Amino acid sequence: MLLTALSALLFATVPPPFERGQDGAAADGQIVSQATTRKKQIVAIVPDRTTGRDWGLRYLREAVDDFNRAEPDAVFCVGDLVQGYTRDHARMERERKDFLDIVGNLTMPFYPTPGNHDVVSGERSTSDRRFADEYRTLFGPLYYAVELEFASFVILNTEDGEGRIAPGFSDAQLSWLDDTLERLALRNRPMILLFHRPLWDHAATRWSERVQPILVKHGVDYVIAGHYHALQSLPPRDGIPYLLLGTCGGANDQHPLAGHLQHITFVVIDENGTIEPYHQIAGCTLPVDWITKEDQDRAYKLKGSRDAVTLRGAVVDPLGKPSASTIDVVLKNPLDRDVEFRMYPTAAPEPLRVVDRVDGSEIERVWTSRTPIDIANAWTTDFASPFRLEFPLEPITLAAGESRTVKISVTCPAQVAPPLPAPFDVVATYSDSKGRRVPIVLRQRVPLARTVLLAPSIASATEFPVAVWTWSEYDTSEANASVRVAHVAAPELFEIDIAVPDLTFSGDAKSENSRQTLDDPLGDAVRVVLGEGPEAREYLVTFDEQSMSPLVRTLSPDRKSLVPAEAVRATLVRAERMWHLSLIVGAGALPEGARLDGLPINIGVADNDETYHTQWRWVAPRSLPARLKPTK
C-alpha cells in the first residue's frame, strides 16, 4: 500500500542556507537558488448540494470561482448534483441545466459522481431507470476510473442494488472494481475511491465481506464519500483512511463545528504517493480586484478625517450624583458620494458580516473578518458602561461635503467610583465602485468633565481610572492604571500616587532630552500636565534603563527640549506585575499665578512593554483636563 495522508518531511532548512561571512552574519545582496522540490498534483472535490434548492447554487458558483483561481488539475464530486426526486421531468431538466451551466465555467476537467438525488426518479420505483439513463447521457458513466499523473480515482455508483435503483453495489460493479483496481495498481500510483452513500453503514451491502477485502487486496489509499451533509474524518479501516464530506450548497441545520458547513475539498498527491486532503470554506478565494485603490482611498479618507465626527460639549462626571447632559455630534462627509451615518452604543462584539456583491446578487460572507471580536479590549472599551445614550433613530445621509450637527442625550445614575468614558460607535456607510455597502466604524467616547478630588491623605483619596479617550488598535490589553491625589505637609502642594498594572516594566534606553521623547518614550512613562493653554507646565517621568530609577523632566522655556524638573520629586516602588509611582509636587511646579482650587490637571500613563508603539491613557480627555478640588 502506498503512503497515505501523513505529513511529508520538509526538504528545506529554516532559515535558508544563506552565504555567511566570518562573523556568522548573512551577506547582503546575494542570490539564492532554491533546490528542486517534490512535484505534486492537486484535485478538488465538490460535496453534496441537496436539499440545496436555488439558494444553494450561489455556493456552487463560488466554488467554481475558487477552482478557477486555485487551478487544481481536475475537479471531482461525491454526487447529489441536483435536488431531483421529482415527478416533474421538466423541473429535473432545469435543475440539471442549472448545475451544468455553472460547472461549465470550470477551466479544468470535471468528473461527476452519481448520487441518489441524481438517479432516483420521482416514481420511487427501483425498476425505473429513466433518470439513471438520462444521467449517463448528460453526465457520463455511473461508474468509471480516471488515471491522473500521480493518482488513480475510481468513481462508484452507490445506487446499484443488484441492478436495481436502490442503495448498494451489484456483484457486477464489484467485479469491475476488482479487475480495475488490479490494473490500476500496476501504475504504482495512489488509488482513491469516490462515491456518494457511505455504504459501509448499509447492512445490506455487507461491506466487511464484499467490499473491504477488495480494497485491502489491491492497496486502496483513500475512501471519500458524502450523503450525510456532515463533514467528518473517520478512523482508518485496515490502514485505509475514510472521509465524509459536508455540503456545497446543500442544507445544513447545525453549527460548523458539528461538521455542517458549505465547503470544498482539495486533495494533494505528491510524486512519492503522499495524500493530503484539506478543506476550504466555499467562496474563500477572492478576485485580485476585490478591493481597488479608489475604494480603499475612500475608506482611508473617511477613517483618517479629523472632522468626519467632532464631539462638542461634555458630560459632568456622575461621581456621587446623577448626571444628565447633551452633547453635540458634528458629522461631515469628506467623500465624493453620499454617506449614511448611524450611531449605536458600543456593545459586546460579534463577528463582522460582510455583504459582497457577485454577479448582481448580494452575498453575506461571515467568514471574511471577525474584527470586532479580534480587537475587543475590555480595559479600553467599557461594554458594561453605566451611561445611557439616546441617538437619532433614523440614519443621517449627507451628500458630498455636507455637514450636520445632531444632539445625543447622555444620562447616568450616581456612581460610587469614577466611571470610564462611555463608548459609542458612529458607522459611516457608503457605496463603493462595485455597488457594495461599505461600513466604516468611527469609534467615539463621550467627553467627561472630571473633577479630581484632593484628599487629606493618599489612604483616603478616591481612585480615578487612567483611561483611553481616543481609540487605537495598538492599545494593550492590560488593566487601566489608577491615580490618587492628596495634600502633603507644607511647603509642598500635593502628592500624586499612580498604580500601574504592568506585565513588563521597561526603562527608556535612550532617555533622550528631545521633545519627541515626551510623546513617544521608548519605555514606560508618566506625564503630568498642570494648567492649560500656553501657560501649562508639563512633566515627564521615565525610568533609567539600567537602574530603573525615575527621571523627572519638564519642557525648557523654548519648549523644544526636556530639562530636569526640580519642583517634582519621584519615588518608584515595584511589585510583581505592578508598579507604583509617587510624585511630590512643589509650589514651583504650577504655572505662575495658578491656584490649587480648580487647577486644570491631567495625568497620563504609557505602558510601552518594550514595543515600538507607545499608547497613552489619561485621567481626562486631552482637550478637556480635569479640575482639582480640595476636600475637607
**Cα torsion through 442, 443, 446, 449, rounded to 10:** -100
370 or 181, which is more confident? 181
Statement: the pTM of the whole predicted model exceeds 0.95: no
- Model confidence at 5, pLDDT cuts 50, 70, 90, reads very low
Whole-number pLDDT of residue 162: 84
The chain-wide mean pLDDT, for the chain, equals 90
Cα 403 to chain center, whole Å?
33
* 272 and 4 Cβ atoms separated by less than 8 Å: no
Whole-number pLDDT of residue 509: 67
- What percent of the chain stands above pLDDT 90? 68
- Model confidence at 8, pLDDT cuts 50, 70, 90, reads very low
- Model confidence at 1, pLDDT cuts 50, 70, 90, reads very low
Q: What is the pLDDT of residues 542-581, one digit of tens each?
A: 999 888 999 999 988 888 889 999 999 999 999 988 999 9
pLDDT, average across residues 17-25:
89
In a 3-state reduction of DSSP, which class is residue 200?
helix
Q: What is the pLDDT of residues 56-86, one digit of tens each?
A: 898 999 999 999 999 999 999 999 999 998 8
Q: Which of 412, 413, 414, 394 is nearest to 404 (CA)?
A: 394
* 188 and 1 Cβ atoms separated by less than 8 Å: no
Q: What is the pLDDT of residues 202-228, one digit of tens each?
A: 999 999 999 999 999 999 999 999 999
- Model confidence at 368, pLDDT cuts 50, 70, 90, reads low
* β-bridge mates for residue 355, sequence order: 364
In a 3-state reduction of DSSP, which class is residue 408?
strand
What's the angle, vertex CA 437, arms to CA 433 and CA 439, rounded to 5? 115
- Model confidence at 13, pLDDT cuts 50, 70, 90, reads low
Rounded to whole angstroms, how far apart are CA atoms 272 and 38? 8
What pairing do the DSSP bridges indicate for beta strands 464-466 and 481-487? antiparallel
- Segments of 502-599 assigned E as strands: 525-530, 537-543, 550-555, 562-564, 568-575, 578-586
Q: What is the pLDDT of residues 349-366, one digit of tens each?
A: 776 777 777 777 777 766
pLDDT beyond 70 at 373: yes
Whole-number pLDDT of residue 367: 60
Hey, what domains does the chain have and what are their CATH numbers?
A: 43-281 (3.60.21.10), 293-448 (2.60.40), 451-630 (2.60.40.1190)
Rounded to whole angstroms, how far apart are CA atoms 264 and 512? 57
Whole-number pLDDT of residue 461: 94
